[in-house]
A = this chain, B = another copy of it.
Amino acid sequence: MSQQRHGSTPGNAPGERTGAVTAFPDLPEATIARLPEYLRALHNLGGAGADTVSSEGLSAAAGVNSAKLRKDLSHLGSYGTRGVGYDVTLLIEQIEYVLGLDQRRAVCLVGLGNLGHALAGYDGFASRGFKIVALFDADASKVGEEIQGLTVRHIEELGRAAVEENIAIGVIATPAGAAQAVADVLVDAGVTSILNFAPCVLSVPANVDVRKVDLAIELQILSFHEHRKASLTALPGGRSATAAGNQEAVGS
């Protein structure tokens, strides 16, 4: 994995969040990371006309085992019906509520190189309810460029704009050398969630959540497995193939 931690890491004592009990469910990190996958599967099932789905059916669609799915959903409360399954619409609503997807969160993108350009136009964000509302770059030659209906602004405007436009999530797609400075500006502007595509560790206050996506690291992990498999097939007991899917997802 290549995710940076939140909450339970040093600097965040257990139970520090609040003395009072809150209605907000305290979900295991692993569960949180799977909820979006369940949501996607549910949207597919709903679109295909299903009213109800069993843990077996939904878990297959999401690529996990059914016990894990039921355990995950049990953390949200009890929304299934024994002997029947889960109501698709109800479960979608519940997961969207927990993930906070019923609220619009303004996203800004910093760094409009190759990758930033693609992210600015990435359908998958819009189709799943996220809208990038502001673009920034340090390169004067990029400032003023129109991308997806937005004008690229100079990074010096980032701080003020992030406050004024109430940016909740900042996406960093700059080179590694610039990322920490951008993160600092975002944090100062009150942004508390950062998605970092730059290949570097960011240092942020404990209340700020950072997720990191490092595309090269993904390839390196696959390279390890290629190496491992090659070392096995080179041996007498080496195998070529067996059966069903074995996949790992980024995040954690």
Contact = CB atoms under 8 A, between A and B. Distances in A.
Given A224-B100, A242-B16, A248 B251 contact: yes
Interface string A105-142: 10100000011011101111101101000000000000
Given A128-B216, A216-B124, A245-B204, A250 B37 contact: no
Copies of this protein in the assembly total: 2
A39 B193 contact: no
The number of chain A residues touching the other chain, given as a range, is 35 or more
A209 interface: yes
A155 interface: no
A74 interface: no
Nearest to A10: B244
A105 to B, nearest CB: 6
Interface of A: 1-7, 9-12, 16-20, 22-24, 27, 29-30, 32-37, 39-40, 61-63, 65, 98-101, 103, 105, 107, 114-115, 117-119, 121-125, 127-128, 130, 168-169, 192-196, 199-232, 235-252
